[in-house]
Structure 1
Amino acid sequence: MGPAERLLAIEVAREYYLNGLSKIEIGTRHGISRFKVARILEESLESGLVKIQINEDRTIDSELSARLQDVYGLRHALVLSGPFAEISSCRAALGKAAAELLEEVATEQDVIGVAWGRTIDVVAEAIRALPGCRVVQMTGVAGSVENSSINLVRRFAQASKGASLPIYAPLIVSDEQARAVIARQAEISAAIAEWPAITLAVVAIGSASEAGSQVSAVLTAAEREELKDKNMACEICALPMDKDGAFIQTSLAERTLSIPFSVLRAIPHVIAVAGGPDKHHAVLAALRSGIVTSLVTDRDTAAFLLG
């Protein structure tokens, strides 16, 4: 490339990449065809005259995110680069990324459903602001009613400055009759009535192990054994599923205060947040269920999902 050609190439590149002119406009300015402009731009890249630099977010693995989104037909996939020394640091990073995604996609027309989980608790802490919308609790509480998902729902509602519909009740009660009585209480029935209206939900994915699920931790040994015998691979909102994502019907369902499987599966946008080595098979089962439409996970889990 001679000096005159080089000067022309510099001018063409500046007009195209920096000034936003079209190839036709550039051709008209310099008395050359748009095909000549295209050839100059191509040669400028090949020769190194022009270098394109993308300042990528290093916390997100964009390549794995794109592959995961494509393979599983997800609306959004965020794969965190890591590495993470401890599961707590992984959970914190996942929660922050999920909060940013929720802030990006939520609208004032949404009704947001929230399921309790340690990772979702981090999401609630990380959220800065949401559009004004209602926030609905999708399950009872696994653990202390005073310190659990009720406060989590309130934090979501404070971020949106919208109404909150919490459930002041345990996740698992003594029997079916007790569940029916609790479900008829005014505040709880108001939340339950709102479940079919949920348009956007954020959920955690529990695994089959006791350590990998807050739900499993509150079950009896006999109940855990029943789920093991029925090949439970994951749970979302205390709804157990097998490796293919099919709902597992057990006697526990009659005593569980949670959004029904069919209603959860009908929610248009469900953001699932899960990662760590204990969650690999659980996340795969959840994706197969058809519930999850967006996923926030770590690099190792994504690599497992992509085989």
Structure 2
Amino acid sequence: MTPPRQSDALRAAQLYYLQDLTMDAIARELRTSRSTVSRLLSAARDSGLVQIQIRSPLDTGPELESMIRAEYKVDVHVVPVVDTLNEAETLDRVAMQAARTIGPLVDSNAIIGVAWGSTLSAVSRHLTRKITHDSVIVQLNGAGNMQTTGITYASDIMRRFGSAYGARVEQFPVPAFFDHAATKTAMWNERSVQRILELQSRMSIAIFGVGSVDADYPSHVYAGGYLDEDDLDVLANSDVVGDVATVFFRADGSSDGITLNERSTGPDLAQLRQVRRRICVVSGASKINGLRGALAAGLATDLILDEASARRLVRFDGPA
């Protein structure tokens, strides 16, 4: 929205939701038509100026959020999802909530790191437009593999984030994994690569999902030809439960000695923990082991997940 339209939408929303005026009364006060007021209220909801919450006595979301917050020390949004939805439909609901949560956190002069993957692809499709100035979207990890450059897949995600926030997009044109750790070391000394790494070092927000080998809705890194059988054997022998931006970890959050990380182009987990706001989006209870590992590693400050996953995360069976 343009600033004048945003101001009108905010004023209409305040009159409607806080002062209980009718649309006709708001139209008279704003000297416009009732249909325009209706459009302003819709714009206020779509842009995140208004967020409607329904609190049912049977709703376990707040209790789950409180339990997760206490146990894992993260800000959390539990998305209510009925059991009849499949994994793709659940992902779409979670992605919609994630997009609404991310929007208000993005400001001008921000450097926002974005990982690619099935979850972030879904989130990017639900972003609402918010104009910022001098902001940058930087890709967190390379996307090339033995079958494709990965440029189209990753760039579509980055482009949607850039378009939503009026931000410059900086892609990371390297493979997801180098064949040899020495090749990565050499590339990391190249000035073109160092420019991206320097941007990543100044991120104020990082947005990512959690990859998991066992997920019912496969993570793109495991389903997209990025890992061969030898790589998967290495992960199994290292007790890996998941990854963030193609950097792997165990159930206890440790990542030392996982040789595949030496070839990965994702950010070092210690570096990621230095980012002020780290938004983790997870959909699907089958990713729970990967999520627990990511939380044990201290990778998230904010967590958005579906209700079934939240229940499994804290082993919650329902109201007493």
Which band: TM-score by shorter chain?
A: 0.7 to 0.9
Q: 1:123 to 1:262 in 2, by over 3 A?
A: same
Over aligned residue pairs, what C-alpha RMSD do you find? 2.5
Instruction: Report how far residue 175 of structure 1 moved.
Output: 1.6
3-state DSSP of counterpart to 1:201: strand
Q: Which moved more, 1:244-253 or 1:174-183?
A: 174-183
Instruction: State the partner residue of 1:139.
Output: 141
Q: TM-score, normalised by structure 2?
A: 0.73
Contact preservation (8 Å) 1:115, 1:204: yes
Contact preservation (8 Å) 1:166, 1:187: no
**What one-letter code is carried by the residue in structure 2 that aligns with 1:223?**
D
Q: 1:55 to 1:257 in 2, by over 3 A?
A: closer
- The answer for unaligned runs of 5 or more in structure 1 is 1-17, 20-53
Of 281, 298, 304 in structure 1, the residue corresponding to residue 306 of structure 2 is 298
Instruction: State the partner residue of 1:242.
Output: 250
Alignment map for 1:101-180 (pairs within 5 Å): 101-130=101-130, 131-132=132-133, 133-141=135-143, 144=148, 145-180=150-185
Instruction: Report how far residue 186 of structure 1 moved.
Output: 5.1
Distance in 2 (CA, whole Å) between partners of 1:263 and 1:146 is 24
Contact preservation (8 Å) 1:60, 1:79: no
Identity of aligned residues (%): 20
Contact preservation (8 Å) 2:61, 2:78: yes
Distance in 1 (CA, whole Å) between partners of 2:78 and 2:294 is 16
Deviations 1:64-116 (A, max 9, x none): 223322332113x1111112521111111111111111102222242110011
Q: Is 2:72 aligned against 1:66?
A: no
**What one-letter code is carried by the residue in structure 1 that aligns with 2:93?**
A
Of 207, 218, 221 in structure 2, the residue corresponding to residue 215 of structure 1 is 221
**What one-letter code is carried by the residue in structure 2 that aligns with 1:124?**
S
Of 232, 236, 240 in structure 1, the residue corresponding to residue 240 of structure 2 is 232
Q: How many pairs were matched up?
A: 255
**What one-letter code is carried by the residue in structure 2 that aligns with 1:135?**
I
Distance in 2 (CA, whole Å) between partners of 1:60 and 1:108 is 36
Instruction: Report how far residue 181 of structure 1 moved.
Output: 4.7
Distance in 2 (CA, whole Å) between partners of 1:187 and 1:102 is 29
Distance in 2 (CA, whole Å) between partners of 1:275 and 1:242 is 19
3-state DSSP of counterpart to 2:273: helix
Distance in 2 (CA, whole Å) between partners of 1:176 and 1:245 is 22
Instruction: Report how far residue 60 of structure 1 moved.
Output: 9.3
**What one-letter code is carried by the residue in structure 1 that aligns with 2:163?**
Q
Instruction: State the partner residue of 2:96.
Output: 96
Instruction: State the partner residue of 2:294.
Output: 286
Which protein is bigger by CA-based radius of gyration?
Answer: 1
Contact preservation (8 Å) 2:214, 2:287: no
Deviations 1:43-70 (A, max 9, x none): xxxxxxxxxxx96168993332233223
3-state DSSP of counterpart to 1:66: helix
Instruction: Report how far residue 255 of structure 1 moved.
Output: 2.0
Q: TM-score, normalised by structure 1?
A: 0.75
Instruction: State the partner residue of 1:272.
Output: 280
Instruction: Report how far residue 177 of structure 1 moved.
Output: 3.7
